[in-house]
Amino acid sequence: MNEERAFRAAIAAHPDDDAPRLAFADCLDEHDRPAEAELIRVQIELEPVREDYGDARADVLRGREEALLRPLRDGESKWLAGLGCCRFGADVEYRRGFVDALKLPARWLVEHGAALRTRYPLLRKLVVFRLNGWGARLAACEHLRGVRELDLPCWYSDADADALAGSPHLQALDVLHYWTGNWQANIAGQLRLLGASGAWPKLR
């Protein structure tokens, strides 16, 4: 519906503001979609106390969140499988009512980025694995645009790191997580240079 598209556009334009999300929750109630509306409200209330385990209210919110998310996660798993990509697995994480993070192999984003970004327009974080050999193709993927947090919990080559360092599509990135071991220290060094290189100007 046009009204829903307008709300989603407003949320995307102000991703850190809860007001458009809460207004959308009211809209969802009016259109007989109470579970989606409740998830937005529950997750917004939970967000500042999410790590307060043992807090009575936070524990209640976590329990309600899990009940609301269960059917949504099942639906997303089926949709992802429908892309023909179910061999290696993927996962989504909801925050403040919408899919906020997506975990997947690099190849999936390269091959199905348009469909993924259309379905998850408020995507803030990517967790990318099976990166080795896909660095250049991932760096050239326009569907990295707007991603603010990137997690690379896998092995990848120097060439992959170099390619990502020059990606023109990661201008919004402000948080980077990367895995390293003693035998991969050269890659860690390359990635540390990114903050000073100007390639990713918002990187903290």
Q: Strand, helix or coil at 94?
A: strand
The share of the chain scoring above pLDDT 70, in percent, equals 86
Q: Sketch the domain layout of the chain as residue ranges.
A: 1-68, 83-204
Residue 96 vs residue 84, higher pLDDT: 96
Asked if the model's pLDDT at residue 86 lies above 60, the reply is no
How confident is the model at residue 182, as a pLDDT?
38
**pLDDT attached to residue 43:** 97
Mean pLDDT of 126-152: 94
Residue pLDDT, tens place only, 24-67: 999 999 999 999 999 999 999 999 999 888 889 999 999 999 99
Average pLDDT over residues 123-147: 95
**Using 50, 70 and 90 to split pLDDT, how confident is the model at 163?**
confident
Evaluated on CA atoms 130, 136, 138, 144, the torsion sign reads: positive
Instruction: List the alpha helices (DSSP H) in the chain.
Output: 2-13, 18-30, 34-46, 56-82, 106-119, 135-139, 158-165, 185-192, 194-197
Rounded distance, CA 71 to CA 77, Å?
10
